[in-house]
Structure 1
Amino acid sequence: MIGMSMRTGDDLRRISRELNRMNNAEVKKRFRKELRGAAQPFVPLVRNSIKAIPSKRPYSADGLRGQMVKATRIEVRTVGRDAGVAIRVDGRKMPSKMKSLPKGMEGTKRWRHPVFGNREVWVTQQSHPYFFKVVRPAAVAGRRAAARVVDSITHDIR
């Protein structure tokens, strides 16, 4: 799983605890929605970067790159130690035997496969980084957006 999280640390955990104590479903819903909205601009960046990975075949929604595009999502957690927003290309959402493809394409894990299914002949595939090269430059803006959401909800709680 390739991902990047936007957290504001203790502030987010504190707000999450306060929201749970308040037991106000409307505010909780708005908080999750606004956090998701802060991360939403990253998803098209990552998906377009995946589509631009060089290949001898044209892009297809059923192909490897198409499966990776489908596995790209936003995860919002407002409880627990890992409270925050994450953009992920989730290997668990990939088809069987392709679970490690996102890591392999990014270059964080070695990517080998049999040549046309021949288990006697294996090849190491070249990585094509697609995630961090588009997310890192925009991360500061994402953190600012998440901080604005936290500030807004803090103001509403008080």
Structure 2
Amino acid sequence: MPQYVIVTGPEFRRVEAALAKVDAAFPERFRDRIENLAEPLAAKARARVLALPTPGNAGHTGLRARVAEGVAVRVSGRAGVRITTSMSEPDERIIPRGLDRRSGWRHPLFGDRDRWFSNPGYSWFMDTMDDSQNEFENGLTELIEDSAREIADAGGFRP
């Protein structure tokens, strides 16, 4: 009966060790990369909400600054990151979403329910996230390619 025997050499053991090393480190590298990609994105969203136009006759309440202050990057789980908005006052929770509506939104002028104001529509948050999809994809692809190179280099398999 014919036999086919495979004898592994030292490059196989080096690749195996590199693969184990990458496997152990990848979740943390992935989370760090996403967090590093998310921080500038959150800063961009903060800047965009601060840049929203206000009518010339409107007073300044600091609302845009409070919304910008509530934009945060939160690590969730082993490999996830969320960019969130929050407001310090429970009755203001809807404001970041209201400011992000392309259709605009109506609200009482300085809390006066007898006088309503219509804000024009802008998307300071979701458009910022959508515009950055390629940055995330490129950053994560680079991480995967770096890991593959690390494994290939261990076995001397560099193309």
The TM-score bracket by the shorter chain reads 0.5 to 0.7
Q: Which residue of 1 aligns with 2:32?
A: 33
Largest Rg, 1 or 2? 2
Q: Secondary structure at the match of 1:76?
A: strand
Q: Percent of aligned pairs with the same residue?
A: 22
Give the TM-score taking structure 1 as reference length.
Answer: 0.59
Structure 1 residue 113: Cα displacement: 2.2
Structure 1 residue 155: Cα displacement: 8.8
Give the TM-score taking structure 2 as reference length.
Answer: 0.58
Alignment of 1:77 with 2:71, yes or no, is no
1:117 to 102, 106, 111: 111
Distance change >3 Å, CA 148–CA 64, structure 1 → 2: same
Distance change >3 Å, CA 98–CA 116, structure 1 → 2: same
**Larger RCO, structures 1/2 (Cα 8 Å, 6+ apart):** 1
Q: Which residue of 2 aligns with 1:64?
A: 63
Unaligned runs of at least 5 residues, structure 2: 1-22, 151-159
Q: Which residue of 2 aligns with 1:135?
A: 129
Q: Which residue of 2 aligns with 1:87?
A: 83
Unaligned runs of at least 5 residues, structure 1: 1-21
User: How many equivalent pairs are there?
Assistant: 127
Structure 1 residue 143: Cα displacement: 2.2
In angstroms, what is the RMSD of aligned CA positions? 3.6
